[in-house]
Chain A
Amino acid sequence: MKANCCRWYVVCVLLLSSMILVVSAASASSKKKTDAKANCDIQAGACVQALGEGSVTLEILPRPVKAMADLTFQVTVEGFSPDGNPGIDLDMPGMSMGPNHVTMEKISDSAYSGTGVVVRCPSGRTLWQADVTIPGIGTKAFRFDVVY
């Protein structure tokens, strides 16, 4: 009888700790979600960010920018000359979606273009992040909402 009570005590403690763990993980994840906000209205047009002594512009076409559609990513640099072609890594802030890299090719002295797809997450979240890496200069994160 005593041993049975002990087992139940252990089970209750385990259940309670897992509930606490789940609740804290959920609150941490929702905090992460609220911390990561869009810094670029890609649906309205190109977004510009300062990098070093110059700037990086990201534009995604066609608009509206939809998930699960073929998209053209255009990067324009100003104020510096990169060591190579820029690259874009797409992911969801706070939830890894696996490696999704957009390879870019030079289309003019300062502009680069590449094609890619923003995949759809069944969770319903629409916030995505494009890390634009300029070789020899640095990386800039553009966070934007896509349309489902």
Chain B
Amino acid sequence: MSSTDSIYLVFLVAGFTVGFGHCIGMCGPIVVSFCLGLKDRNRFVPNLFYNIGRTVTYTILGGILGAGGSFTGVVIPMQGFQKGVMIFAGILIALMGLAMTGWVAIPRIFSSGYSPFQKFFNTFQKLSKSSGIGGFFALGLLLGLLPCGPVYTALLSSARVGMEAAGPWQGALSGALVMFAFGVGTIPALLLIAGLSDMKWLKNRDIIYRIGGIMMIIVGIYFFVKGIMY
């Protein structure tokens, strides 16, 4: 096994271990929020597609960094956009939480008729009513851009393998494979969290969904504030 081959294994294992530590703490609340939003619907397939979307974003980013061979040159300009993604995730989670508590009818929040808000609401409504696959894949693609320490570390290695590669194409492939391995490694932990948040076994789930809704509002506010401060 060459040193480049072993780095894929290193990041597959790193993704797995970081998944059960860091990701559960930082991204677990997002997964639980989306799962509670699914209520009684199947949660494995939408979550699988959310994770595939996230891994696709990681792989593309890894390819870009691997081709360029520079970490700071790509990631620093991207940070402003990542801040926006974090704020968006916060708003989305808080809105899903509000909808779940049933205290506020979501359409009322956007009743001003202001078109950008209306568009946002329509997207949100489509997402929550869809079978989950397309919407969750798109969410995964977007939230794969969330700022995250271990993702930055894996991207740093993508840039390093790119620097050592014979050319930009080989660098792009190696960088993409590092991030793909890392992304795949993080999936089991987040799927486990999704599975644990299944409340189907409960007969009267309304109160749980209300508590879940309140938790989602808190998590949403947390992400929003962190995003503003980032």
| Chain A contact residues, CB within 8 Å of chain B | 4, 7-8, 11, 15, 68-70, 92, 95-100, 117, 119-124
Cα distance, A96 to B75, chains bound together (Å)? 20
Query: Which residues of A lie under 8 Å from residue B203 when comparing CB positions?
Result: 4, 7
Interchain CB contact under 8 A, A70 and B72: yes
CA distance A120 to B153 in the complex (A): 9
- How far is A8 from B211 in the complex, measured between Cα atoms in Å? 14
A64 to chain B minimum Cβ distance, whole angstroms, is 16
Q: Nearest-CB distance from B99 to chain A (Å)?
A: 22
A7 to B203 Cα, complex, angstroms: 8
Whether the pair A97, B153 counts as a contact (CB closer than 8 A) is yes
Q: Is B116 on the interface with A (CB-CB < 8 A)?
A: no
Interface size on B, residues (CB 8 A): 34
Asked if A100 contacts B17 (CB within 8 A), the reply is no
Most chain B beta-carbon neighbours within 10 Å: one of A68, A98, A99, A121: A98
Per-residue CB contact flags for chain B residues 188-230 toward chain A (1 = under 8 Å, else 0) read: 0000000000000011100010010000000000000010011
B156 within 8 A of partner (CB): yes
* Given A122-B148, A124-B229: A100 in contact with B21 (beta carbons within 8 A): no
Q: Known: A68-B76, A70-B72. Is A120-B147 also a contact (CB below 8 A)?
A: yes
**Residues of A with C-beta under 8 A to B26:** 122-123
**Residue B39 lies at the interface, judged by CB distance under 8 Å to chain A:** no
Q: Which of A4, A7, A98, A117 contacts B154, CB < 8 Å?
A: A98
Q: How far is the CA of A124 from the CA of B21 in the complex (A)?
A: 17
CB within 8 A of B72: which of A68, A96, A123?
Answer: A68
Q: Which of chain A's residues has its CB closest to B14's CB?
A: A98
Interchain CB contact under 8 A, B150 and A122: no
Given contacts A68-B76, A122-B146, 13 further A-B contacts (CB under 8 A): A4-B203, A7-B202, A8-B204, A68-B72, A69-B72, A92-B149, A96-B17, A96-B18, A97-B22, A97-B152, A98-B182, A119-B149, A121-B149
- Does B71 count as interface, using CB distance less than 8 angstroms? yes
CB contact list, B12-65 vs A, under 8 A:
14-15, 17-18, 21-22, 26
Q: Which residues of B contact A15 (CB under 8 A)?
A: 211
- Given the interface pairs A11-B208, A117-B156, the reply to whether A95 lies near B21 with Cβ below 8 Å is yes
- Closest residue of chain A to B230 (Cβ to Cβ) is A122
| CA A111 to CA B6, docked complex, whole Å | 29
- Residues in B with CB closer than 8 Å to A120 are 147, 149, 152
A99–B229 CA distance with the chains assembled, in angstroms: 26
B86 at the interface (CB under 8 A from A): yes
Q: Is B142 an interface residue (CB 8 A)?
A: no
B22 and A95 form a contact (CB under 8 A): yes
CB distance from A26 to the nearest CB of B (A): 10
With A68-B76, A117-B72 as given contacts, are A100 and B202 in contact (CB-CB < 8 Å)?
Answer: no
